[in-house]
Amino acid sequence: MNLNLLQLAFSASLKEGLEKIEANHFGIIFGTDSNGCVTGLATDGDIRRKILSGVSLNEKLEDCLNTDFVSADKFTSRETLLKKLDHKIRIIPILDENRRLLDIITHTYFPTQLEDSIYVRARSPVRISFGGGGSDLTHYFVDEPGAVINATINIYAHALLKVRNDESIRIVSSDLDQSIEAENLEELLGKESSFGLIQSTIKAIQPAFGFELYLNSDFPMKSGLGGSAVVSATVLGCFNQLRNDKFDSYELAELAYQAERVYQGIAGGWQDQYATIFGGINFMEFKYEKNQVYPLRVHNDIVSELEENLILCYTGVNHDSGDIHVNQKKEMSKSNVKELVKQNVALTYEIRDQLLRGKLFEFGNSLHQAWELKKQFGENISSKQFDDIYDFARNNGAIGGKILGAGGGGYFLFYCHPFRKQTLVKALRERGHEVRNFKFEGEGLKTWSIRESLANKSN
């Protein structure tokens, strides 16, 4: 669109106006002032009628301009423009904030909306695990099949990504209360920082552009909720949203595992990555040749009852799952520990059936059995402090429970007797423990894009 053919200084002659109209083929001319701002418009009919009334072709265009005309700006919706066209309006000038001509809309010319800049968001949930911990470690299931059962809940990590026009990178973490900046990807990946997990995740993606990345979580670090995998998943989700050939859920989980376990060298299992990305209540089987995730169709009534009877109790101690898993790897070489994990795997199949059939009292007892087995995997999984918390909870209404994650701190998950939950919650809080209710989250990693202009536009 040649906008020069559509506008003319209002001091020009009517003859010049007709010449422009003849050249632009739209039958209209916009008059502009010395700053290029549109002051009015004239159609070929307006000028012709003026000449027929006896006015000379050398008279100024200004005398023929209609200053009361319909216009729009770049934020005007397609719906509004269509309604204006449908209401006998022949042409609509699109003007900027200074009333300079940007484009026009007519019945035959309706330019395609240009792509706006966007930002991307991702949200991914943490998991609680019911059984099978330890069997998702590669050094276990390379010899024996592993199985775990877990569920995602409505506690999340969040990420926001904005692509830059240059190669520079800025990452801000509310959890760390820190930020990191680099001129390019190579510089970012070479820096020593507290952002090791994020740097490893970005290394797995290798983005070919600069960006700004903002991260925050609803949970404390090292809480036993699989938080590292959850944060990594949100970062992956943001970059995946920008890809044409998107990674599927298994590939995303593998990338998250690669970032944390391979690049960063933190020991641990596979379940956290699958749990947060797939979401829901899942039964997972681990074999050397293939890992498989099976969503469980637990009846809605059973899910609701679980939500009412399960609570999270914070031990007040953060754990280092990597160190615990390193110890477990050493312990796993012992035949008695391997046998304990094998029993835990068998118990996981029982827990699966209990959930599917709604046998929740048995489910609570199975959590207790799972904890009794897990405590024997290594000496740093429990302690006198944690045993005291567990025994106190059992004496005040908990049927069973277990520390989540690798152990050594974080959250206890307790299944309460339906008529004693409030008694237990009150007793734990009076003892100084943080108690948290939750709901199950059926959706895993979620990503979406927003037009930046819409997000920043004020009404």
**Catalytic residue check, 63:** no
Q: For residues 400 and 366, is the Cβ–Cβ distance under 8 A? A: yes
Grade residue 332 by pLDDT with cuts at 50, 70 and 90. low
Each residue's pLDDT tens digit, 368-414: 999 999 998 887 788 899 999 999 999 999 999 999 987 788 899 99
User: Nearest 5°: phi and psi at 222?
Assistant: 55, 50
Pair type for strands 101-106 and 169-173: unpaired
Grade residue 222 by pLDDT with cuts at 50, 70 and 90. confident
Q: For residues 120 and 154, is the Cβ–Cβ distance under 8 A? A: no
Q: Hey, what are 135's tokens? A: 């069997």
Each residue's pLDDT tens digit, 238-274: 999 999 999 999 999 999 999 999 999 988 999 999 9
Identify the helix (H) or strand (E) that includes residue 366.
helix 360-374
Pair type for strands 28-32 and 38-43: antiparallel
Please provide the size of the chain in residues: 459
Grade residue 459 by pLDDT with cuts at 50, 70 and 90. very low
Q: For residues 121 and 448, is the Cβ–Cβ distance under 8 A? A: yes
Domains of the chain from N-terminus onward? 3-106 (3.10.580.10), 119-436 (3.30.230.120)
The reported pLDDT for the residue numbered 319 is 58
Q: Hey, what are 366's tokens? A: 């199975």
pLDDT over 90 at 316, yes or no: no
Whole-prediction pTM value?
A: 0.81
The catalytic position among 44, 46, 218, 272 is 272
Number of other CB atoms surrounding residue 278 within 10 Å: 22
CA–CA gap between residue 424 and residue 363 (Å, rounded): 18
